[in-house]
């Protein structure tokens, strides 16, 4: 069971929604404002101007290092403001999934135990497999590399440092150039089109909503397509942005089924399971089968495209509903129904 923060009584009246100034903070804070919450952004001096110039939050706390939020003094300050923290990709990377689970007493939206399952590649694979979602083949021994593979390293570094290779010899040459060559994962390189659907699971309604979808824009893999093979530069996968996408409508049943299965499995693997936003990073092959190479069990950056809602969220909600706003809406509903303990840990 994950450590559960005690929710003080005051939270039933006033809540301040806060997050770290990075990743999806602009969208989260706008969504919180739209739902009538007070907002706070925690950022470094370097990022300050972004959050000031986009009028992101009512209040700002400057820290030297994001791990500073773990100090007793800082947490006390947040508790005095009835803060609910919203985790996102950079939040998990900078503060650390284990620190969030073990050292953070400030209430946080979602199940803290989930973060460890998504940031640990081995656990994520167990989860996807349990849900019956197809994952790329993995090779323990470099000798087994017979076709194109992608070699990955731990941590959510936006694909940085990954490389592709097609044989053991080339693998070894590439590995020598890596800073941290110990912990690698060799994965089948799946050829197809990428779809990163953004889901939201509400424990209050027990429904999974498909809110939007994106494709990550990656340097230089996406740039190489424009060179018509006139360069020897190897593809790399550093995420630099996101582009919008919708999927063929006849593929929606598969996408919805994957979301449902992942939620069901999460309840079994780490009760009470996943709460709120998540994304299954998939590739759709030419036989129209989806292969999922990753799962993110928190808001993903691709949702930043849809501050005003997406083609999918517009069908569910007759108002602009970003994932950030959907999180705030869930908190508001839970607050009104005195059910905050179902969604906040
Ligand atoms: P990841 O850090 O696992 O999300 O991967 C970063 C990027 O590498 C993805 O957005 C994809 O473009 C690409 N990628 C990751 N795994 C695979 C795979 N098994 N096959 C093809 N492309 C992949």
Mapped onto helix, strand or coil, the DSSP state of residue 96 is: coil
How many Å apart are CA 278 and CA 296, to the nearest integer? 5
Let me know: does 18 contact 324? Beta carbons within 8 Å.
no
Residue 130 resides in a domain:
yes
The answer on 280 and 177 residing in a single domain is no
Name the closest-CA residue to atom 19, ligand 1. 189
Q: Which of 128, 136, 138, 159 to mutate to test the pocket of ligand 1 (most atoms within 8 A of CB)?
A: 159
- CA 144 to ligand 1 centroid distance, Å: 20
Q: What burial letters (b/e) apply to 70-86, b meaning 16+ CB within 10 Å?
A: beeebbeebbebbbbbb
Among 83, 42, 80, 87, residue whose Cα is nearest residue 60: 42
Q: Do the domain assignments include residue 263?
A: yes
Asked if residue 291 lies in contact with residue 192, where contact means CB atoms within 8 angstroms, the answer is yes
Which protein residue has the closest C-alpha to ligand 1 atom 5?
159
When divided into structural domains, the chain yields a total of 2
Q: Which atom of ligand 1 is nearest to the CA of 191?
A: 21
Residues 285 and 177 in one domain: no
Q: Strand 237-244 and strand 207-220: pairing?
A: antiparallel
Q: Please check whether residues 177 and 315 belong to one and the same domain.
A: no
The per-residue pLDDT for 238 is: 92
Q: Which atom of ligand 1 is nearest to the CA of 136?
A: 19
CA of 107 to the centre of ligand 1 (A): 33
Dmax over CA atoms of the chain, in Å, equals: 64
Residue to mutate (ligand 1; options 150, 163, 238; most atoms within 8 A of CB)? 150
Q: Are residues 182 and 216 in the same domain?
A: no
Does residue 291 sit in the same domain as residue 241?
A: yes
Protein residue whose Cα sits closest to atom 2 of ligand 1: 159
Give domain status of residue 56, yes or no.
Answer: no
Is position 127 within any domain?
Answer: yes
- Give the end of a domain, one of 188, 203, 227: 188
User: Whose CA is closest to atom 12 on ligand 1?
Assistant: 237
Report the pocket of ligand 1 as residue ranges, CB < 6 Å. Answer: 136, 150, 152, 159, 162, 187-190, 194, 216, 218, 237, 281, 283, 293-294
3-state SS assignment for residue 82: coil
Please indicate, yes or no, if residue 66 is contained in any of the structural domains: no
Helix extents (H) in 7-60: 25-34, 48-53
Query: Which residue in this structure is represented by tokens 């993995």?
Result: 138
Cα separation, 330 vs 326, whole angstroms: 6
- Residue 67 included in any domain: no
Nearest partner of 279 among 293, 298, 263, judged by Cα: 298
How many angstroms is it from 32 CA to the middle of ligand 1?
31
Do residues 247 and 128 both lie within one domain? Answer: yes
Q: Say yes or no: 151 and 175 in one domain.
A: yes
Residue from 124, 225, 293, 296 whose mutation best tests the ligand 1 pocket (most atoms within 8 A of CB): 293
Residue 156 pLDDT = 47
Q: What is the CATH number of the domain that holds 203?
A: 3.30.470.20
Instruction: Kindly state whether residues 239 and 266 are assigned to the same domain.
Output: yes
CA nearest to 281, candidates 236, 219, 218, 343 = 218
Instruction: Examine the domain organization and report whether 156 and 184 are in the same domain.
Output: yes
Does 209 reside within a domain?
yes
**Shortest CA distance to 172 belongs to which of 184, 156, 160?**
184
Dist. CA 293 → ligand 1 center (Å): 7
Q: What is the pLDDT along the chain (345 residues), one digit of tens a residue?
A: 455 777 888 998 999 999 999 999 999 999 999 999 999 999 999 999 999 999 999 999 999 999 999 999 999 999 999 999 999 999 988 998 889 989 999 999 999 989 889 888 889 999 999 999 999 999 999 999 999 999 998 764 667 788 999 999 999 998 888 877 778 999 999 999 999 999 999 999 999 999 999 999 999 999 998 998 899 998 999 999 999 999 999 999 999 999 999 999 999 999 999 999 999 999 999 999 999 999 999 999 999 999 999 999 999 999 999 999 999 999 999 999 999 999 999
User: What is the 101 CA–ligand 1 centroid distance (Å)?
Assistant: 27
What is residue 157's predicted lDDT score, i.e. its pLDDT?
A: 61
Q: Are residues 124 and 203 in the same domain?
A: yes
Give me the CATH number covering residue 147: 3.30.1490.20
Q: Beta-strand (E) ranges in 158-206?
A: 163-165, 185-188, 193-202
109-123: buried (b, 16+ CB within 10 Å) or exposed (e) per residue? bbbbbbbbbbbebee
Strand partners, 16: 38, 83
Is 95 inside a domain boundary? no
- Do both 212 and 178 map to the same domain? no
- CB atoms < 10 A from the CB of 271, how many? 11
Same domain, 129 and 278: yes
Domain that holds residue 247: 119-134+192-321
Instruction: Give bridge partners of residue 302 from the DSSP assignment.
Output: none
Q: What is the pTM of this model?
A: 0.95
């Amino acid at each position: 069971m994950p450590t559960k923060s005690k929710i003080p009584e005051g939270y039933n009246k006033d809540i301040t929604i806060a997050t770290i100034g990075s990743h999806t903070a602009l969208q989260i804070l706008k969504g919180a404002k739209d739902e009538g919450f007070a907002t706070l952004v925690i950022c470094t001096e370097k990022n300050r101007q972004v959050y000031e110039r986009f009028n992101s939050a009512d209040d700002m706390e400057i820290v030297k290092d994001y791990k500073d939020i773990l100090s007793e003094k800082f947490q006390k300050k947040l508790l005095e403001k009835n803060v609910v923290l919203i985790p996102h990709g950079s939040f998990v990377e900078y503060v650390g999934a284990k620190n969030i689970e073990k050292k953070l007493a400030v209430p946080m939206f979602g199940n803290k135990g989930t973060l460890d399952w998504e940031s640990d590649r081995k656990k994520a694979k167990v989860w996807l497999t349990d849900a019956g979602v197809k994952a790329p083949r993995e090779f323990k021994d470099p000798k087994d590399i017979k076709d194109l593979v992608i070699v990955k390293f731990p941590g959510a570094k936006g694909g940085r440092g990954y490389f592709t290779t097609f044989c053991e010899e080339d693998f070894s040459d590439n590995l020598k150039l890596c800073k941290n060559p110990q912990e690698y994962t060799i994965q089948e390189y799946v050829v197809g089109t990428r779809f990163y659907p953004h889901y939201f699971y509400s424990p209050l309604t027990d429904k999974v909503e498909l809110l939007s979808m994106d494709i990550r824009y990656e340097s230089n893999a996406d740039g190489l397509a424009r060179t018509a093979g006139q360069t020897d530069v190897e593809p790399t996968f550093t995420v630099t942005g996101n582009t919008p996408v919708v999927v063929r409508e006849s593929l929606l049943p598969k996408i919805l089924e994957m979301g449902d299965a992942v939620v069901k499995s999460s309840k079994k693997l780490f009760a009470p399971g996943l709460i709120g936003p998540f994304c299954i990073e998939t590739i759709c092959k030419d036989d129209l089968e989806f292969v999922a190479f990753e799962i993110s069990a928190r808001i993903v950056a691709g949702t930043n495209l849809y501050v005003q809602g997406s083609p999918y969220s517009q069908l569910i909600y007759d108002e602009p509903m970003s994932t950030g706003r959907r999180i705030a809406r869930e908190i508001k509903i839970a607050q009104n129904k005195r059910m905050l303990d179902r969604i906040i840990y």
